[in-house]
Structure 1
Amino acid sequence: MSSADEAVLASLGYKQELKREFSPWELFGIGFSIIGLFPSIASVLIYAIPNGGASAMIWGWTVCVIFLAFIVLALAELGSAAPTSGGLYYWTHSFCSPRYKNILSWVVGYSNTIGNIAGVASVDWGFAVQLMAAASIGSGMTFVPTTGQTYAVYALVLIIHATVCSVAVKYIARLQIIYAILNVLLCLGIIIGLPAATPSEFRNTAKYAFGDFENFYGWPNGFAFILSFLAPLWTVGGFDASVHISEEATNASIAVPWALLSAVFIASVLGWAINVAIAFNMGTDLDAILSSPTGQPMAAILFNSFGQRGTLAVWAIVVAVQFMMGMGIITVCSRQIFAFARDGGLPFSHYLRRVNKHTATPIYAVWFTAFISLLLGLLAFTGAQAIGAIFSLVIAGQYVAYAIPISARFLGKNDFRRGPFHLGVFSGPVALVAVTWMAFMLVVFFFPTTVDPMASTMNYTVVVWGGVILLSLAYYFFPVYGGRYWFKGPVRTLEESEGSVGGSRQSTLEDEKKQAED
């Protein structure tokens, strides 16, 4: 274990509890695997096609990745300066002015938690839908899965993922490079194979691919185009993945920003190429694609190009990669929950922060993640469109959690010390663009899918995300027992010693709580 990494973590107030099993390449691997490029595009294509069709897929992706670059640069700079699993809420508390640091770090912690759990739910729901699509293709389109059947698959995969992620982290770490390579090969296979296999009747002209715009839901075309951004923003998301694994990574101050930047850059380029390949080879009957018995527009497109057997072969890889994504995201989410619980921010923190001595994994945090994801999946029974709230919830939770610490660095009174990776004089302008973009997109993703929504087509993102935030604030301000009486932000877990960093007094969580109560 690197003594330098331990020293950096100690300077942030924490003792080393998790094993540093992730190399820089493996840290990149988990970030890139969580993006899971082609399976992710397949999962959210249903939100891009109705809001602009082919041109929205290509130009929407282009617009989004430009602004995503600003977000990832701002976060990489913070991750290099303070690489801890707490990440976003830790930075918020460190950079905010004393008057607001406790409440804002609390809000960021809960927003990050619900955003990450929604990430687990959306990835595993995507897996369930894709697996059922495979069954539909295999039956010759005669099998149409019910919501209950899809939910049963979803519940089963959550249990499998939680079980796997409860074992020693070194096994998960070693698999990341394999996952990343398989992801890249799948992407290249689609980019090359789809144009080669598509029959002439499904091939589109450049004028159609780059210029056709189809609007299914009645919003003005400009706003519909913006609504299509859900697809690229959800696909190339989860920027904080490498941050939450930083306490298990070697050379974290350099590895975290490198992993973050490289994963997003590669995903942005390959993702654009995939969208171009799809736009040129999906035909023009978008109604047929959206109403396919598979319930998966991408599966319908592949079926038209590869036929039944070819589609099943490709789709088997898609499902496998999606499964790997779920394993990665639940690992990352459990580390964030562990870190927030370590500082006493969550109910049952005493249990959620425990690390198993044999596996060196926060098992309680893993199963807590799976349980809450299981509850989120119940939205599917509200209506076909309602499950889209989970995908929007990922972005809402992340963007609130990203924007506050990025802003706090410049607005709060702090002594920010930059790490090995920094932007110099460009830090401020990059942060301004990033926060402005996130604020704008937050408002957009609270809008419903259609102009005149009903209960089944309502956007429940604001209800779920807003409900979590309101409950967390109620918990914070609750008389006598609320968080404001004992939550003081990140708690130093190093024992008091002469060799402690800075020679400062460092106490355990229980000591901090006792002092707050006194």
Structure 2
Amino acid sequence: MPTAGGLYWWTHYFAGEKYKNPLSFLIGYSNTLGLIGGICSVDYTLALMILSCVSISRDDGWSASRGVIYAVYVGLILLHGICAAFSGRIMPKIQTACIYINVSLVIATVIALPVGKVTRGEVLNPGSYVFQHVDNETGWPTGWAFMLAWLAPIWSIGSFDSCVHMSEEAMHAAKAVPLGIIWSAGSACIVAASRQAWAFSRDGALPFSNFFRYISKRIHYQPVRVIGGLVVISLILGLLCLINNAATNALFSLFVASNYLSWGTPIFCRLVWGQERFYPGEFYTGRLSKPIAWIAVVYLLFGVVLSMFPTGGPNPSPADMNYTVVINGFVWAGCMAYYFLFARHWFAGPRMTVDDNNSSISEIGASNSVVSSGGPTYAKEE
């Protein structure tokens, strides 16, 4: 079902009748804010990496102040916003280049460095040390400290839904999107966030939706206003890095917990309520579909819980506290309060952007071949 809305659209489609609208509203906001958190955390990390290279090259003990870090962060956000707005047509090529770069770096790290050590006659650590030695520098038991080590890959390998939000611009999305998810997870956060926010605005759920739903004819039919709004929000949220590390880590926590909830909910809805509405597409795992889905739900729930633990150990100080539960709890509770107080009177779920006469629900489910590439969806917005 190619749709830029992705997760909240599927949640609404599969959820039980009483839960469709509130769950869809929750996942829409959770996914939008989670992707914004992804933009902030990725660019903040990139700013630290760039400045660490500067520090190493100077070799005089210099380290960047929080103001300098924020300045580099601002430059990166603006650069990526411009790329997202003006490079939409070549984004697949950029994605492909990033994939090759990442694979090359992995090869260099896993193969080239050890080979270089051996060539220079340096002694490598034995396999027993590499795979069995453990240094637990936290206050948690070793077993749980090992589980907390999952936080690094949980954060690093993310944005699995990036390609989903681009599906309305893809040819033969039924195959292209699943393959894109497999090959390019973690790429193009700002592009994914812009499509998600635009789709949510198209359904009238975000503040100032009539403004943000606009598609620019001048700039290759890109949601430029949404991209600009995301840039502004990211710059404001980035101010947290001027406070302390605990405030900075809030950006990371927003990305992990909110997106994990968003990824898991439509899968759970499909398993519990959506069996009669589920139509296998071209990319289908057959009998393994349900077991894979349940494993996904359990793992994503585990990831949400894991992301809320302080990594240093129990009884953390305010500076070492993990504020994930506070940040995401505020997002989720605030979203639900907004829905039940106001939005329930007008939010009716995702709006159809294809003509029912041309494509029925069963046809969409059976073929997964309804695609709009600058067509009906965009034309209506113009």
The alignment's TM-score, normalised by the length of structure 2, stands at 0.87
Contact 2:162 2:191 in 1 (8 A): no
Q: Tell me how far 1:203 sits from its aligned partner.
A: 3.9
Contact 1:338 1:362 in 2 (8 A): yes
Q: Tell me how far 1:385 sits from its aligned partner.
A: 4.4
Match of 2:159 in 1: 238
What is the correspondence of 1:2-13 to structure 2 with a 5 Å cutoff?
A: none
Match of 1:383 in 2: 244
Residue 367 (str. 1) matches residue 228 (str. 2): yes
Residue 169 (str. 1) matches residue 31 (str. 2): no
Residue 501 (str. 1) matches residue 359 (str. 2): yes
Q: How much identity, in percent, do the aligned residues show?
A: 38
What letter corresponds to residue 449 of structure 1 in structure 2? Answer: T
Change (3 A) 1:406 1:224: same
Change (3 A) 1:242 1:148: same
Aligned to 1:187, the other structure's residue is in SS state helix
Q: Tell me how far 1:193 sits from its aligned partner.
A: 2.5
Q: Tell me how far 1:166 sits from its aligned partner.
A: 1.4
Contact 1:168 1:361 in 2 (8 A): no
Residue 476 (str. 1) matches residue 350 (str. 2): no
Offset from partner CA, 1:82-112 (integer Å, 9 cap, x none): 1211110000000011110000001111111
Q: Tell me how far 1:495 sits from its aligned partner.
A: 6.6
Which of residues 211, 217, 235 is equivalent to 2:138? 217
Q: Tell me how far 1:263 sits from its aligned partner.
A: 4.2
What is the correspondence of 1:65-464 to structure 2 with a 5 Å cutoff?
A: 82-198=1-117, 203-263=124-184, 328-359=188-219, 360-413=221-274, 414-450=276-312, 451-464=314-327
Q: Tell me how far 1:339 sits from its aligned partner.
A: 0.9
Offset from partner CA, 1:424-478 (integer Å, 9 cap, x none): 2222211111111211221121112232222211112122211111221221122
Change (3 A) 1:210 1:192: same
Which of residues 331, 334, 346 is equivalent to 1:486? 346
Question: Which structure 2 residue ranges, 5 or more long, are not aligned?
Answer: 362-375, 378-382
What is the correspondence of 1:25-104 to structure 2 with a 5 Å cutoff?
A: 82-104=1-23
The alignment's TM-score, normalised by the length of structure 1, stands at 0.65
What letter corresponds to residue 129 of structure 1 in structure 2? Answer: L
What letter corresponds to residue 139 of structure 2 in structure 1? Answer: G
Contact 1:111 1:398 in 2 (8 A): yes
Match of 2:371 in 1: none
Output the CA distance in 1 between the equivalents of 2:244 and 2:122.
Answer: 34
Change (3 A) 1:263 1:167: closer
Aligned to 2:207, the other structure's residue is in SS state coil
Aligned to 2:16, the other structure's residue is in SS state coil
Contact 1:386 1:459 in 2 (8 A): no
Output the CA distance in 2 between the equivalents of 1:463 and 1:382.
Answer: 17
Task: Supply the RMSD in Å over aligned alpha carbons.
Answer: 2.4
Aligned residue pair count: 359
Output the CA distance in 1 between the equivalents of 2:189 and 2:184.
Answer: 15
Offset from partner CA, 1:15-63 (integer Å, 9 cap, x none): xxxxxxxxxxxxxxxxxxxxxxxxxxxxxxxxxxxxxxxxxxxxxxxxx
Q: Tell me how far 1:483 sits from its aligned partner.
A: 0.8
Contact 2:151 2:306 in 1 (8 A): no
